[in-house]
Amino acid sequence: MRVVVTRPGEDGAALAEILGARGIESVLEPLLTIKQHDGAPVDLEGIQAILVTSANGVRALARRTDNRSIPIFAVGDATATTARSSGFSRVHSASGDVTALVELVNDLLKPKDGPLLHVAGSEIAGDLAAMVVAAGFECRREMLYEAEKARTMSASLTAAIKDNQIDAVLLYSPRSAETFVQLLRKARIVRYCRSMNAVCLSQAVADKVNDLGWKDILIAAHPAQDALLEALDDITGTKNGGDANSSFEAIADEGLVSRENIDTSAHTIAPIQRRRGGAVRTVFLTLFVVVILFGIGAATKPLWRIYLAAYLPEDVLTSSVEQKTASRLEEMSGRLSNLERKSSTKVVPDFKTLLSERDRLRKQLTVTLGRLDKLENSIDAVKKMINALNTESGTGAEEMLRRLSERLKKLEVQNADLEKRTTDQGESKESVKTKALLLAVGQLRDAARSGHPYRDELLSVQSIAQIQREAEDPESKRISDHLDQLAKAANTGTPNLSGLKADFKSLAGTIVKAAMTPAEGGWVQRTLARLTQSVKWRQTDNLEGPGIEAVVARAEQAVRVGNLAKAIKELSVLKNRPAKIAAPWINGAELHLNVQKALSGLQSLAVSKLAAGG
């Protein structure tokens, strides 16, 4: 087992010895660099005792004073041991945290005997001086050193983490934990945390690393080294008795010496070695070869299938889905051929012919109306002559009256017949308008299906529709709505069905590959991604389930039979990269469906008007 130790040189080396006795290999990685302040000796005049909360504070104090008889109050046993080893003779240990240190000061010292001195670094956790002042003491803080964060992670540790050679990292304070997370992000190796355990001294430390995807986060039962090592034992599955002198305080202020100051002569750390892992490597290589062979076999299927066809029946080589699909395609091809034959027998006149016919009928109607006016004038003249006749006998007026009456009856009959013919011709005029609209819509439909712009054909339909709007056609509002929908793509055209089918056929494999290729990964993932770029294979007969292959297979089947609405519905569940890849095709398919719907609506309105007689 290999563990990263982030404590300072002497403290880290001592911890490495303890871990070595447990059979655990250590990797020293100081996260902070201590710079001790040089200057005049610390002014201890009138000071009754010194409070220290870390071993670094003790070492900094020892450099700035020769007074070894002044009382030292240490937060824990480890700091007290460092003070004694530095020559201080009157050392008291609170064997706990800052609160325990304040209680010890209250028990052994009196405020009237003089002020206290708190030796600290530039970064502290908790305000010990304020707590002591609240207890009635006078206290001043003396900053004798500062801790600078490491800017980069060592190349050896970065390589070890990438090779999954690190099992756990020991973190002692929120600041050191925060620094370690920053270095992981800077080295772009956060994803490798999933194979490491974070062993934290307290919950506050764990909160700083909780955002990363660790294999596990373990927290010491209480802020002491023996509890931290017990948490580490949960990983190794072993239990070791704690050293009587191994208990150490909750870190009030954290400081680490520089890497250059680490004395590794007494504590030799085993060099980082690659794990053999022969069995795992063998399994991986076997699976890798199987995947490659399977891909090659699928890619060369058209070649070897020809030779197998001589020995195996066709239904064995062809899946049931392929057989059903081929049968349906054959049936649809026959239906399409029949429709093409029927449509080829119908001659559809062009728009210019329809306009010529409309002008001819208009002229004929004008002539008929002129004749009707003349006839009405003749009838009026006859009536005036009858009224002017003298009906007295002997003058021959009665005979004249009789002849005029007969002539009047004939004119009235001719007038009635002419009015009837005029009415019929008026109905034919409206019928021609409707027929012109129907034929113009048919030409517009053909142009739209070609995939090319259809602006001219749309203008023709709009001109005929304008005539009907002027005639106050009750259906003109619905016609206008359909024309507005068609105008959106008149200048560019819409993708036709055959083009959409061809595009999706080449797009389907790209969608599946995008979902199965990781966005980021190690060299293995990147190598597999490059290899699969040239291998175009996927499972197309898996139609069940929510998997990406099943979704694309169902959509592909729907596109093959022309059911674009179902294909769009299937593809709407895609997310992330597959959704972005499929979005342009979906937009084109939706535009195609909207245009076809508008064309069908126009055609239905024209047919219904024609059936109604105008």
Q: Assign 3-class secondary structure to 384-437.
A: HHHHHCCCCCCCCHHHHHHHHHHHHHHHHHHHHHHHHHHHHHHHHHHHHHHHHH
Alpha-carbon distance values, 173 to 131, 205, 366, 559 (Å): 21, 5, 104, 60
The rounded distance, in Å, linking the Cα atoms of 497 and 593 is: 10
Q: Could you identify the residue written with the tokens 């929510």?
A: 546
Q: What is the pLDDT of residue 237?
A: 72
The residue among 237 and 453 whose pLDDT is bigger is 453
Architecture of domain 2-31+150-261: 3-Layer(aba) Sandwich (3.40)
Token pair 């010491």: residue: 220
Apex 557 CA angle, 559 and 300, nearest 5: 110
* Residue of 408 and 254 predicted with greater confidence: 408
Q: Is 34-149 the same fold as 2-31+150-261? A: yes
Per-residue DSSP letter, 13: H
User: How many other CB atoms are found less than 10 A from the CB of residue 367?
Assistant: 9
Q: What confidence tens digit (pLDDT) does each residue in 368-379 have?
A: 777 767 777 776
Give the mean pLDDT of the chain. 76
Q: Domain coordinates of the chain in residue numbers?
A: 2-31+150-261, 34-149, 280-344, 351-487, 497-611
Residues whose CB is less than 8 angstroms from the CB of residue 604 and which lie 6 or more positions away in sequence, other chains included: none
Q: How much is the pLDDT for 217?
A: 92
Instruction: Give the per-residue pLDDT at 338.
Output: 67
What average pLDDT does range 273-299 have in this prediction?
69
**CB atoms closer than 10 angstroms to residue 216:** 11
Q: Please check the confidence at residue 389 and state whether its pLDDT lies above 80.
A: no
Q: What pLDDT was estimated at residue 79?
A: 87
Model confidence band, residue 530 (pLDDT cutoffs 50, 70, 90): low
Of the chain, the end-to-end C-alpha distance in Å amounts to 92
Write down the pLDDT at residue 185: 92
The distance between the two most distant Cα atoms of the chain, rounded to a whole number of Å, is 174
The pLDDT of 381-387, averaged and rounded, is 67
| Contact present, 22 and 222 (Cβ < 8 Å) | no
34-149 CATH fold: Rossmann fold (3.40.50)
Does residue 166 have a pLDDT over 60?
A: yes
Is a pLDDT exceeding 50 seen at residue 538? yes
List 140's β-bridge partners, or say none: 117
The C-alpha atoms of residue 3 and residue 26 are separated, in whole angstroms, by 5
Contact of 232 with 170, CB cutoff 8 Å: yes
Instruction: Identify the pLDDT of residue 253.
Output: 47
Q: How far is CA 83 from CA 53, 54, 79, 86, 107, in A?
A: 11, 10, 6, 5, 21
Spatial separation of the C-alpha atoms in residues 221 and 482, rounded to whole Å: 74
Say which residue, 214 or 406, is predicted with more confidence. 214
Nearest to 197 by CA among 209, 183, 207, 182: 209
Which of the 8 DSSP states describes residue 266? S
- The answer to whether residues 169 and 144 touch, using CB atoms and an 8 Å cutoff, is no
Q: Does residue 270 carry a pLDDT above 50?
A: no
